[in-house]
């Protein structure tokens, strides 16, 4: 059985991490103490001391200590700890990781966790867990537990909180063991990944049913920036047999400045790997923002639609749609495998059809014309006189994807 890495800054929080390790051992698992601290004298003896962590990361620890820059130290040890944790995983010496800390400890702990595959238990007890944790989680499946009180000393409250953290990571490990014994997670059917938004849900749900009936497993990702990047990561490294990327809306946010962009590499993974793909301009009619009062004055006078209390949508203009069509075409043109682009001429989202708030024939025409202009001649382009959520569109997407 592998070990549970207990990573922390042992110069300031060694006693607390030793307590955590003891609770893990009490629950029948073997902890491995890894010191990611840099200053001060370690409070406990680590199984992998900070000197070894620094050396594996190519860091001159003495020079860092002499400069005395805490921010530089945290950044360096975060990278070094990630190197050590990846090595332990590659050597099958790690089944999970848990860490506790404030801002520095959270930065170090989550950096190491993000380097591990999805499904490996990752638990971070943090004083920052109630704020914006996106920079710490990124696209990883880290479980963040609010420390509530600072990770500073052992008392009736912190001992209970740290014991809960130990129980959490051990339960996740035990669950993985049971799943493996039952054969869960093993690939028995070809895996299809799909992108979906609320405004393309009927299309993707219909396509998923058809694909499952054809003997495929389908994993759907919500196109909210993080979802798109997670899907790209799975395509890049996982056992993916096909991609149903009919909700490319994250490119609208990336181009215009919305809050749900997925970065400039969105649409790259399937093209690079040559995995069969179907691509559509789903929801490129909308850019996502928060509540109305959070929207920049730079967008004053634009056409908005209140999706809910937290989400405000902005209609893309013909000029923006021309750029989006060109971007989509260029991304698809890079494909080294079979790919088809489908255009739903009757509407690219639930609210872009006639009678709905984002119906804009001029913007749609600009989008479709740009795709036609820039798409390589050798790539199939299928135009359907229906909306993206019509059953006929989902059926056409599935047929093209299965034809591979």
> Residues 200-234: pLDDT tens digits?
999 999 999 999 999 999 999 999 999 999 999 99
Give the residue with greater pLDDT, 283 vs 64: 283
What secondary structure letter does DSSP report for 117?
A: P
Does residue 238 have a pLDDT over 80? no
Q: Can you give the pLDDT at residue 187?
A: 59
pLDDT at position 105 over 90: yes
**pTM of the complete model:** 0.80
**Angle, helix 103-114 to helix 70-90, in steps of 10 degrees:** 30
Among the ranges given (36-50, 126-140, 246-260), the one the predictor scored with the smallest mean pLDDT: 126-140
Tokens of 396: 């056409």
Alpha helices for 35-122 (secondary structure H) = 50-56, 61-67, 70-90, 103-114
Average pLDDT, the chain: 95
User: The domain 191-403 belongs to what CATH superfamily?
Assistant: Uncharacterised protein family UPF0261, NC domain (3.40.50.12030)
Residue, of 68 and 246, whose pLDDT is higher: 246
Considering only CA atoms, give the Rg of the chain: 24
Tell me the CATH number for domain 3-182. 3.40.50.12020
pLDDT tens-digit map of 146-185: 998 899 999 999 999 999 999 999 999 999 999 988 876 5
Instruction: Give the closest residue to 11 by CA, choosing from 28, 36, 48.
Output: 36
* pLDDT score for 180: 87
Q: What is the mean pLDDT of residues 238-244?
A: 93
Spatial separation of the C-alpha atoms in residues 277 and 402, rounded to whole Å: 9
Neighbouring residues of 403: CB distance < 8 A, sequence distance ≥ 6:
none
**Same fold? 3-182, 191-403:** yes
Among 293, 305, 298, 232, CA closest to 262: 232
Percent of the chain with pLDDT over 90: 88
* Residue 134: per-residue pLDDT: 87
Residues 304 and 317: their CA atoms lie apart, in Å, by 12
Residue 387, pLDDT score: 98
Residue 130 pLDDT: 83
Cβ atoms within 10 A of the Cβ of 16, count? Answer: 28
Label residue 148 left, alpha or beta by phi (over 0 means left) and psi (-120 to 50 means alpha).
left
- Which of the pair, 130 or 284, is modelled with greater confidence? 284
Under the banding of pLDDT at 50, 70 and 90, the label for residue 353 is very high
Cβ atoms of residues 86 and 115 within 8 Å: yes
Is the confidence at residue 76, as pLDDT, over 90? yes
The percent of residues above 70 in pLDDT, for the chain, comes to: 99
Domains of the chain, residue spans: 3-182, 191-403
Please list the residues that pair with 48 across neighbouring strands: 34
Residue 276: predicted pLDDT: 97
> pLDDT at position 1, please?
59
Q: What is the band of 186 on the pLDDT scale with cuts at 50, 70, 90? A: low
């Amino acid at each position: 059985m592998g070990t549970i890495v207990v990573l922390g800054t042992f110069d300031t929080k060694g006693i607390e991490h030793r307590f955590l390790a003891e609770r893990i051992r009490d629950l029948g698992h073997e902890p491995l103490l890894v010191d990611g601290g840099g200053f001060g004298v370690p409070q406990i003896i680590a199984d992998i001391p900070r000197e070894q962590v620094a050396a594996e990361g190519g860091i001159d620890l003495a020079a860092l200590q002499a400069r005395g820059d805490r921010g530089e130290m945290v950044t360096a040890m975060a990278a070094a700890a990630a190197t050590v944790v990846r090595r332990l995983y590659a050597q099958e010496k790690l089944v999970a990781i848990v860490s506790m800390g404030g801002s520095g400890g959270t930065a170090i702990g989550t950096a190491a966790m993000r380097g591990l595959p999805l499904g490996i238990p990752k638990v971070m007890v943090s004083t920052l867990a109630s704020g914006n944790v996106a920079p710490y989680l990124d696209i990883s499946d880290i479980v963040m537990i609010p420390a509530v009180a600072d990770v500073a000393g052992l008392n009736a409250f912190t001992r209970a909180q740290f014991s809960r953290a130990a129980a959490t990571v051990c339960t996740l490990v035990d669950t993985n063991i049971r799943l493996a014994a039952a054969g869960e997670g093993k690939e028995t059917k070809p895996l299809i990944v799909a992108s979906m938004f609320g405004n393309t849900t009927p299309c993707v749900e219909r396509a998923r049913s058809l694909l499952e009936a054809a003997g495929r497993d389908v994993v759907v990702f919500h196109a909210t920036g993080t979802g798109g990047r997670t899907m790209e990561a799975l395509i890049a490294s996982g056992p993916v047999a096909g991609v149903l990327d009919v909700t490319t809306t994250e490119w609208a946010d990336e181009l215009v400045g919305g809050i749900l962009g997925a970065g400039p590499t969105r649409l790259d993974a399937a093209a690079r790997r040559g995995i069969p793909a179907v691509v559509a301009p789903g929801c490129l009619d909308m850019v996502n923002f928060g509540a109305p009062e959070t929207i920049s004055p730079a967008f004053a006078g634009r056409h908005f639609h209140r999706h809910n209390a937290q989400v405000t949508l902005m209609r893309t203009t013909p000029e923006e749609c021309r750029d989006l069509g060109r971007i989509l075409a260029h991304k698809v043109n890079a494909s080294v495998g079979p790919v088809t682009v489908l255009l739903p001429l009757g509407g690219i989202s639930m609210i872009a059809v006639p009678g709905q708030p984002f119906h804009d024939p001029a913007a749609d025409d600009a989008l479709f014309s740009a795709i036609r202009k820039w798409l390589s001649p050798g790539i199939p382009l299928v135009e359907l006189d229906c909306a993206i959520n019509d059953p006929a569109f989902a059926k056409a997407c599935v047929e093209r994807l299965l034809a591979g």
